[in-house]
Amino acid sequence: MKIPIIFLGTGQAIPTIKRNHTSILLEYKDENLLIDCGEGTQRQFRKLHLNPGKITRLLITHWHGDHVLGIPGLLQTLALNGYNKRLYIYGPQGTEYFMNKIMQMYVYEGKLDYVIKEIITGEVFETQDFKVEALPMEHRTKCLAYAFKEKDKIRIDKAKLKKLKIKGKIIGELAKGNDIEFEGKKIKAEDLTYEEKGKKIAFLFDTRLNENCFKIAENSDLLISEAAYTQEEENLAAEHLHLTAEQTAGIAKKSNCKKLVLAHLSQRYENREHLILKEAKKTFKNSLIAEDLTSLEV
């Protein structure tokens, strides 16, 4: 199945006319994962006619304002609109402290069922269909990169089924990888099925280059990563613990990624994004720039 990725915000610390603060939505069946929630995120939902009440999980990379200032408004909106699910909130160490501060800083209206889980490294959560993992990054505060990993699936070769005229509930056993008996003949599941590799999508924001960048991105179908500076401003990138477009492209190439989407762009490149893209493409050709209120499928 196709996995929709919606770019609600693709800017950096200071929003621009074209770019809101960072926030990305990943939709998968009944799960809707919001990665970061910059200021104005809930209005971006409205512009796309999306219902924020469908969000099931919030994954916070770190607690710098451009990644979290939209959380108070989003929580208030969910509560006032009768959000009837449990919202799972994940983030680095300190997330529970900061969430408590958020709830204390204004007169909150309504009730909201939410659970906070602080992550250091490793598995964040797992469902029947996928799991999410995190690795620590190197920034000026505790920071995580996330990887969404769809589980491998057993698929049935429909042409072979048709040829053998196999029908009915017995097909379900093949889908489970079990051998079957049909019209007196034993049929091995491996002869009628194949394994479909699950898709991987990695989210890499706000860090200087480090070994975990390559680990989180490894074999991704899609890497969504910051590209805060061009290599010409490598010293600034190092000073602020960010990645250049060349470094990001190098991560994608070395990690065997299929596609790279550049996001979290600084205001200094407003209307000059082609400089970021040109630099990335020199190292990794299958690169593109993310734009606010656009989407793609993996």
For residue 155, the number of C-alpha atoms closer than 13 Å in the C-beta half-sphere is 11
| Dist. CA 66–CA 11, nearest whole Å | 8
Q: Checking DSSP bridges between strand 114-118 and strand 87-91, what pairing results, if any?
A: parallel
The yes-or-no verdict on residue 172 having pLDDT over 80 is no
Q: Checking DSSP bridges between strand 114-118 and strand 122-126, what pairing results, if any?
A: unpaired
Query: Which amino acid, one-letter code, is at 268?
Result: R
| Dist. CA 286–CA 253, nearest whole Å | 10
Residue 129 bears catalytic tag = no
Q: Helix, strand, or coil here: 9?
A: strand
| Dist. CA 151–CA 163, nearest whole Å | 29
Question: Regarding predicted confidence, which is higher, 293 or 163?
Answer: 293
Please name each of the domains of the chain with its CATH number.
4-147+197-297 (3.60.15.10), 154-194 (no CATH)
pTM: 0.91
pLDDT at 221: 98
Q: Helix, strand, or coil here: 162?
A: helix
Binning pLDDT at 50, 70 and 90, where does residue 110 land?
confident
Q: Helix, strand, or coil here: 266?
A: coil
- Residue of 36, 66, 206, 292 with catalytic role: 66
- Mean pLDDT lowest among 134-148, 184-198, 242-256: 184-198
Task: Give the max Cα distance, the chain.
Answer: 72
The yes-or-no verdict on residue 176 having pLDDT over 80 is no
| Dist. CA 206–CA 192, nearest whole Å | 46
* 81 CB-near residues (< 8 Å, 6+ apart): 52, 53
